[in-house]
Amino acid sequence: MSTFVAADDREAVTELLRGQLEGLPARSPFYADLFAARGVDATRFATLDDLAELPFTDKQMLRESQAAAPPLGRHAGVAMSEVIRVHASTGTTGRPSWVGVTRRDAAAWTDVVATAFRTMGAERTDVVLHAAGLGLFVGGLPIRDALERIGATVVPIGTGASEKAVLAMETLGVTALHATPSYARYLAEHLRAAGRDPKEFGLRKIFVGGEPGGGEPAFRAHVESEWGAPVTEGLGNADMAPVLFGEPPGSSGMRFTGGRHVVVELVDPDSGAPIAVEPGAGGELVYTSVDRECCPLVRFRTRDRVRVTGVAPDGAPLIRCVGRTDDMLIVLGVNVFPSAVRDLVQTLHPRTTGAVQIVLPRQGPRVEPPLLVEAEWGEPDGDREALGRELEALIRSRLSVRASVTLVPPGSLERSEMKSRLTRLAS
């Protein structure tokens, strides 16, 4: 099968989705027009295999929908008076889109995210330093709600408050950190710069998400080594749900934790054809909401590229996110994810700090070789010329592209307390 729906849930999910699709054209002009244009009769949906007959929805279509019918768009599904909260996508690939949430939607999000965090190891006895933006970012307030549902004590530090984060860890008995992978490393660097060892704070769990990185072997090993605590990661999407996959501690990947609220497909990123969910397979995640009131989406293309890494003891597939199609670079026909370059640079820590940035002469995704990589050296007395050559050889052998590495002093490259931007246009 090309979906992540558990066998025990297939019948119930199919029935719920049938009702969602049948009623969707009446309350969403966007889908009424899209289905009509593609000759789709939503009342004929009978099995999950029929999803492949429905059209995709993508981010640009949502932006155009909201531009045509502000504020929430022709796909909104409910009036603004039914919306209790509005979030927004991060806008890394263009103008952000608004995401409305009704009271029922918010309850469903809390259920889904709480399941994910329980899967990742969150418990009622945890004191969680919640270092994520508490504004429009879906990784902020909804995750706070989910942690409180679990019964954990939440310390809502947000971002831009590293000194307060240190104070909280010193005085509140913090057991767990929730942050982007970038901030988990950033906070450790902040402590090292102040002459302190992150391990002294006794964290027992680190929950990460919001960007690729938590699943990169060298990056993860570095964060775990710095804090002396295991990392587990979650994966979600601003337009569908904050976290839909969670990693069981000690496993080889994340499992689907969205229950009966979302159907997830694996498709070929180029052709859109379904791909069987089995170990070794790779593709793009596509989401369809089953019971969403505001902003219900059908076959939404996330652009998240994943690989199936194995199966859980109960047979559920496990995945790792390898990057986003929107971030991918193409060097002489070879697909290169910036996060993969970062992970290779991280393998040479402490000779490098692990910080990296790819410099693009012009907007991607196509890049003429060599790939221009800036990386920070870590050891002040190291042989930088030899280190540069070693990094270039490593990138060529592992990623099959020719690179030109420029080494820069520690602290030269931009750090982020949210998502790291691993590429920049040459000035």
What confidence score (pLDDT) does residue 13 get?
Answer: 95
Identity at 21, one-letter amino acid code = L
Helices and strands, number each (H, E), in the chain: 10, 20
What whole-number distance in Å separates Cα of residue 116 and Cα of residue 110?
10
What confidence score (pLDDT) does residue 25 get?
Answer: 95
The residue behind tokens 């692990």 is 354
pLDDT above 80: residue 96 = no
pLDDT above 70: residue 95 = no
Q: How confident is the model at residue 94 (pLDDT cuts 50, 70, 90)?
A: low
Question: Phi, psi (5° rounding) for residue 273?
Answer: -70, 145
Q: How confident is the model at residue 97 (pLDDT cuts 50, 70, 90)?
A: confident
State the CB neighbour count (10 A cutoff) for residue 195: 6
Cα–Cα–Cα angle for 31, 294, 84, rounded to 5 degrees: 160
What whole-number distance in Å separates Cα of residue 215 and Cα of residue 358?
20
Q: Please write the tens of the pLDDT for every residue from 310-331.
A: 999 999 999 999 988 878 898 8
pLDDT above 50: residue 164 = yes
What whole-number distance in Å separates Cα of residue 34 and Cα of residue 37?
5
- Taking all residues of the chain, what is their mean pLDDT, rounded to a whole number? 92
What confidence score (pLDDT) does residue 166 get?
Answer: 96
Cβ-proximal residues to 347 (8 Å cutoff; 6+ apart), any chain: 218, 394
* % of the chain at pLDDT higher than 90: 76
pLDDT above 60: residue 91 = no
Cα dihedral 122, 283, 287, 152 in deg (nearest 10): 10
Q: Please write the tens of the pLDDT for every residue from 379-404.
A: 888 889 999 999 999 999 888 889 99
State the CB neighbour count (10 A cutoff) for residue 258: 28
| Cα distances (Å, whole numbers) of residue 332 to 97, 209, 211, 240, 298 | 33, 31, 26, 34, 34
- Mean local confidence (pLDDT), 65-80: 95
Confirm if 356 and 371 have CB atoms less than 8 A apart.
no
Closest by Cα among 242, 238, 16 to 110:
242
pTM for this model (two decimals) = 0.88
What whole-number distance in Å separates Cα of residue 43 and Cα of residue 310?
36
Specify the range with the lowest mean pLDDT, choosing from 28-32, 122-126, 172-176, 341-345. Answer: 341-345
Cβ-proximal residues to 331 (8 Å cutoff; 6+ apart), any chain: 367, 368, 369, 371, 401, 402
Q: Please write the tens of the pLDDT for every residue from 103-136.
A: 999 999 999 999 999 999 999 999 999 998 888 8
**What is the residue-wise DSSP string for 12-60?**
HHHHHHHHHHHHHHHH-HHHHHHHHHTT--GGG--SGGGGGGSPPB-HH
The residue behind tokens 């690989």 is 307
Peptide bond into 370 cis (omega under 30): yes
What confidence score (pLDDT) does residue 275 get?
Answer: 97
Confirm if 175 and 128 have CB atoms less than 8 A apart.
yes
What whole-number distance in Å separates Cα of residue 355 and Cα of residue 405?
13
What whole-number distance in Å separates Cα of residue 372 and Cα of residue 96?
29
- Mean local confidence (pLDDT), 152-165: 92
What confidence score (pLDDT) does residue 92 get?
Answer: 47
- Mean local confidence (pLDDT), 3-23: 93
Q: How confident is the model at residue 418 (pLDDT cuts 50, 70, 90)?
A: low
Q: Please write the tens of the pLDDT for every residue from 179-208.
A: 999 899 999 999 999 999 999 999 999 999
